[in-house]
Homo-oligomer: A and B are copies of this chain.
Amino acid sequence: MASAARGAGGRLGLGLGLRLWLPLAALLGTPALQVQTLRPESLLLVSTLDGSLHALSKQTGDLKWTLRDDPIIQGPTYVTETAFLSDPSDGSLYTLGTQKQQGLMKLPFTIPELVHASPCRSSDGVFYTGRKQDAWFVVDPESGETQMTLTTEGTSTPRLYIGRTQYTVTMQDPQAPGQRWNTTYRRYSAPPLDGSPGKYMSHLASCGMGLLLTVDPGSGAVLWTQDLGVPVMGIYTWHQDSLHQLPHLTLARDTLHFLALRWGHIRLPASRPQNIATPFSVLGIQLLMTLYIGKDDAGFYVSKALVHTGVALVPRGLTLASMDGPTTDEVTLQVSGEREGSPSTAVRYPSGSVALPSQWLLIGHHEPPPVLHTTMLRVHPTPGSRTAETRPSRSMQAPALLLEVSAKRAEGSLAGLTQWIER
């Protein structure tokens, strides 16, 4: 399908010379005995925002096959004011208040957590309804063909058994019947790979576009680049018969460019300060974790992304104008059948400017937002467990809980729901 490193070398000015590594690496990777049979362990599985799962060669980055699916995040596409945004990499939720003195805020729970806690009500009267639905895909690692039944019959080659869960949460305010906000988040069942990921990060993705870099964690040399066309959200490997997640870092496009140009190699530490608001230094360059807000066919999304000091930031507490902004040709409602690059790179806007109204203000890198003071009270054990029990397994009990939203904060956040609701 897509060829390796499509457009990547040209945009970033790197990669072509470094691809000389590849033949040697490819030779080292596979024992001589049976070159025809693809070992599932030799694949790097990469999920992108549009819901595709791409199988790349770990050695060369070449695209082997792509599994198409629904987008990772699906929410309301009708946008006037934004109330809730999600991070497709983990389903975290953010809210953007329209009240004064309130900008982007992080909610202290994710979509999977909300679905787990549902059905529940928040203290401001909003009803939450959850839905979780699992699916298993059986994939031929060679061709990427899927079979819909779980069977090992008639197959001599190993199969990839990939579990995926779809979480849907619906919020509804009985004061405004007929209006509801719902969002769907899909993720693969892939625990992190055991063992330390090493001192330096191997996989780097660019923000708002589909570029993926794999670097040698020792030398920092770029082993290969691949442009998947759509932002990368998760990187996985096959290990001991199941899918495992590999860590990766997302960087601003300009930051990735800057680091590659300046150093010729990229060594980013695998572990960083716990507080994402604390900048950290790599070879004299300050890097800061930001929240990138992008836009996609499926709506707005959020990604944590590292930037260097050259990238403009939207300051904390920036609020949206409560009116619809004017529309601009070639900017507003830029809908096309094929996505080229990502919307944010196609739109040139002065990020951080408060002069631009409405949602275009959102797109770009934001300072890490504060966590909304929303507490969950009354976490109970499973109803019915009052009778004595020999071996309660507390960690596994599904809590039935009531969302208790601090009234002061809730006014501007969850109450904003009714204004941003899909009809």
Contact = CB atoms under 8 A, between A and B. Distances in A.
Interface of A: 89-91, 106, 108-110, 112-113, 115-121, 127-136, 149-153, 161, 163-165, 172, 174-175, 177-178, 187-192, 233-234, 242, 245, 247, 249, 272-277, 289, 304, 368, 371, 376, 378-391, 393, 395-402
Given A112-B398, A150-B172, A163 B383 contact: no
Contact of A289 (B175, B190, B388): B388
Given A127-B150, A234-B383, A388 B272 contact: yes
A161 B192 contact: no
A277 to B, nearest CB: 7
Nearest to A245: B383
Nearest to A165: B119
Contacts of A371: 390-391
A237 to B, nearest CB: 12
B242 A277 contact: no
A115 B90 contact: no
A120 B190 CA distance: 10
Nearest to A278: B388
A190 B400 contact: yes
A391 B191 contact: no
8 contacts: A112-B398, A118-B163, A131-B132, A149-B177, A149-B178, A152-B175, A189-B400, A192-B386
A166 to B, nearest CB: 10
B277 A390 contact: yes
A112 B382 CA distance: 9
Given A132-B115, A380-B192, A109 B396 contact: yes
A385 B90 contact: yes
A11 to B, nearest CB: 24
Given A153-B177, A191-B402, A383-B190, A119 B163 contact: yes
A214 B284 CA distance: 75
B133 A131 contact: yes
Contacts of A380: 191-192
A159 to B, nearest CB: 9
Given A276-B388, A390-B275, A400 B191 contact: yes
Contacts of A89: 384, 387
Contacts of A149: 177-178
B113 A134 contact: no
Contacts of A118: 134, 163, 165
Contacts of A106: 390-391
B109 A393 contact: yes
Nearest to A289: B388
B135 A119 contact: yes
A383 to B, nearest CB: 5
Nearest to A126: B150
A120 B116 CA distance: 17
Contact of A177 (B113, B150, B274): B150
A379 to B, nearest CB: 7
Contacts of A192: 380-381, 383, 386
B108 A393 contact: yes
Contact of A108 (B187, B247, B391): B391
Contacts of A130: 132, 134
